[in-house]
Chain A
Amino acid sequence: MDLTLKIWRQATASEKGKFVEYQVQNISADASFLEMLDVLNEELVRKGEDPVAFDHDCREGICGACSLYINGRPHGPDKGITTCQMHMRRFKDGETIVIEPWRAKPFPVIKDLMVDRTAFDEIIQAGGYVSINTGGVPDANAIPIPKRDADTAMDAAACIGCGACVAACKNASAMLFVAAKVSQFAVLPQGKIEARERVQNMVAKMDELGFGNCTNTYACEAECPKEISVSHIARMNREYLSAKLVSQKE
């Protein structure tokens, strides 16, 4: 396959970026999208040019490192997979592919297609955990959990924190991410103990970082590589409303 790539190039966070067009030839239809970019980078290095910086790690669709806003869609045209799992057969020979970084104020560009997703770590630090003293492993049957609740928690915990929800949302809202992280604990007895503080702290942190608001467009759900349901956002809204209503004065 021969392709034209229109890629966002930006040397540093503070410098102005621009789109640069590249031609790549003889790309196998069975190559993954990132392998196609590897081919381009090899070529650029050979020519003594600066290779295109992009995030990647496991290339197995489970780490959440890869990103890329491809032809107007986070993680490209396929549903329910990350960029690294997408293959070039999804594109037509001779096609022009526009590749952009995630665009959101709390996700500043580090270089080219790489963005700083520390904001997500900060939200997790605000409450996305269960505080327990370490010790012996508790008996698996000591805390009974209904299968349905365990499944719901597991569905939410499938979130890999890639940021596609923020990238897809017209408001750059992080609601689906935060909702998944709130939900995975909210339905489990271990998480219920800190549930009120957790949801309030995480939502406050999300707002403080400058993410947009949720207007229920559900673009996040459509683009999430792990297909996290917006029903988790409703659960977070419920948790948040009830926590706000009953929490004691400081």
Chain B
Amino acid sequence: MTKKVFWGALAAAGAAASIASADTLEDVKARGELICGTSTGLAGFSAPDANGRYEGFDVAYCRALAGAIFGDPDAVEFKPLTTTNRFSALSAGEVDVLARNTTWTLTRDVDLKNTFIGVNYYDGQGFMVPKELGVTSARELDGATVCIQTGTTTELNLADFFRANNISYEPVPIETNAEAQQQYLAGACDVYTTDASGLAATRASFEAPGEHVILPEIISKEPLGPLVRHGDDHWADIARWTLNALIAAEELGVTSANIDELAASTENPEIARLLGTEGNLGEMLGLSQDWAMNAVKAEGNYGEIFEKYIGEGTPIGLARGLNAQWTEGGLMYAPPFR
């Protein structure tokens, strides 16, 4: 009897689970909030403020997604994940979407059974050195000691770069970015290498940022983007087109300031389709007609989000570079909304 009940319960749990994972949108709607996996803390990309509210570039994407689904950018719960448990949390269904500055690679896409829904930041690995060394190019770094975070792709890129240029280096392995700053400032290494966005953020926090330079070489491709798990293409579509909507909004000149006005009066058919005053794109996605409008209203369009959290007006002070719109010479290119 006991056994029967046990197996019955297990089967019921299994059935409930398989129903649960079949349609993520239904789950999210039933729950009343989105669960978004994010970093435990990365300057500019995601960090809790003094009131415990998460803010940052990756966080803003999740708020836009919550806006698209619920019309409420706060209907989202953030789950801090580390580099080790982020993929298992996604595949186990603990989070609906992972926006944790994750580099898009073939292995992560195919072997770990994830669907990357686009790129929200094109990053690449760079070098920072003290100005007094007088180094102007990474090729001059022969024999340098290099502070490097262990267990990351940066470690492998570094080895490749130095080998390709036939110069030598001595690695100083460190665990976290904060530790790297201390080691670098204390002179334990001549060079600090990590993603260029991280270098900029780190340099900005120094007491004398002007005494350090970021070398011009970018030695790797790090396309960072949000991802969802395999098995629910509809959900991946929603996530992908929310990101596209943010990028398209910038291209079309739709900002959080003028969006209401444009929705009421625009003549541009593409803007009208994006904002849902024309056509039925929202319906096709299984969302409300003004989904993209709510997504942009959450934290602004792609450019506004960039400027707010990591742009040149912030302490991190990143230039748009590769992350500018394609019309401005960057790589941000949203497919057409039709």
**Are A and B genuine complex partners?**
no
